[in-house]
Amino acid sequence: MMHRALIFSSLNPIYSQLSTTKASPDSAVFPKRDGAWIGPPPVFRLQNYKRTLLPPLCVASDSVANQPKMASQDEQDPRISKISSAIRVIPNFPKPGIMFQDITTLLLDTKAFRDTIDLFVERYGGKDISVVAGIEARGFIFGPPIALAIGAKFVPMRKPNKLPGEVISEEYSLEYGTDKMEMHVGAVQAGERALIIDDLIATGGTLCAAIKLLERIGAHVVECACVIELPELKGRERLGDKPLFVLVSST
């Protein structure tokens, strides 16, 4: 069975009062070093938690405000918490210190996966979006179902040398070095309204490259959409004036 857990933000008032002794015995994902937990404290199920103390998961966030709106419990879509708890956190992947947000467990939960797509489709359907651009490779999992549901085409944004036809490329920075993102020439026309989708936004470097590619050919990027945001990495700011919509905010 997949280990499902509620993931609490460190800003959560309950969280800051918690001692680490509440950890479930098999939460091996959060090892101790010198008596202290590495990374966020262990995840576990709370009985009867107060509804007003839910983590700041935001259904809609406006980059102009520079802070996600703190949704009260009444505003937060009830599907969000199940989506959040279906995401597995893997510590120290791909390297020490990184808490990897693994969406593959979300894809195993048919209702939560369905809800994820529905939340995006509800937001973008009927908004005259003709292009959904998905970033390799996990953007390929969420993008096409959204595109099909809203009547848009799907455009894969790929690593170098994968697309067979003529491409335009955009280089972007990594922590060490650079990488390149490519899109087929002719896939998108000037003036089209586009949505960019990926599973997660961290620093925002990849999304920025995707925005640049689409804008270079004259498309209008309406919004970037991700399942997960890592707000401490400030990707939202890096997107500048481009709005960002996320389902789950994870610290």
Which residue's entry shows tokens 């050919």? 217
Q: Does 174 bind other proteins (CB under 8 A)?
A: no
Contact predicate 237/172, CB 8 Å: no
Helix (H, G, I), strand (E, B) or coil at 138: coil
By CB under 8 A, name the one of 7, 109, 124, 239 that touches other proteins.
109
Q: Does 120 bind other proteins (CB under 8 A)?
A: no
15 counts as binding other proteins under rule CB under 8 A: no
Question: CB 138 → other proteins: shortest distance, Å?
Answer: 8
Say whether residue 182 binds other proteins (CB under 8 A): no
Q: Give catalytic residues, as residue numbers.
A: 138, 175
Go through 95-111 and write b for each residue having 16 or more CB atoms within 10 A of its CB, e for each that does not.
eeeebebebebbeebee
Please, which residue, 51 or 111, has the CB nearer to other proteins?
A: 111
The answer to whether residue 31 forms part of the interface with other proteins (CB under 8 A) is no
**Binding residues for other proteins, total number by CB under 8 A:** 43
Which of 33, 164, 175, 241 binds other proteins (CB under 8 A)? It is 164
Type and span of the H or E element at 155: strand 153-157
Instruction: Please tell me the distance from the alpha carbon of residue 84 to that of residue 76, in angstroms, as a whole number.
Output: 12
Q: Does 28 bind other proteins (CB under 8 A)?
A: no
Interaction between residue 220 and other proteins (CB under 8 A): no
Which has the closest alpha carbon to 138: 202, 198, 207? 198
Stretch that binds other proteins, among 17-25, 45-53, 132-140, 234-242 (CB under 8 A): 132-140
What residues contact residue 163 under an 8 Å CB cut-off, 6+ apart? Answer: 156, 182, 183, 184
Residue length, the chain? 251
Shorter beta-carbon distance to other proteins: residue 42 or 143: 143
Q: Which of 22, 50, 162, 220 binds other proteins (CB under 8 A)?
A: 162
CA triple 185-131-214, angle to 5 deg = 50
What tokens does 148 get?
Answer: 């099909």
Q: Which residues bind other proteins (CB under 8 A)?
A: 1-2, 88, 90, 93-94, 100, 102, 104, 107-110, 113-114, 117, 136-138, 140-142, 144-145, 147-148, 151-156, 158, 161-165, 184-187, 189
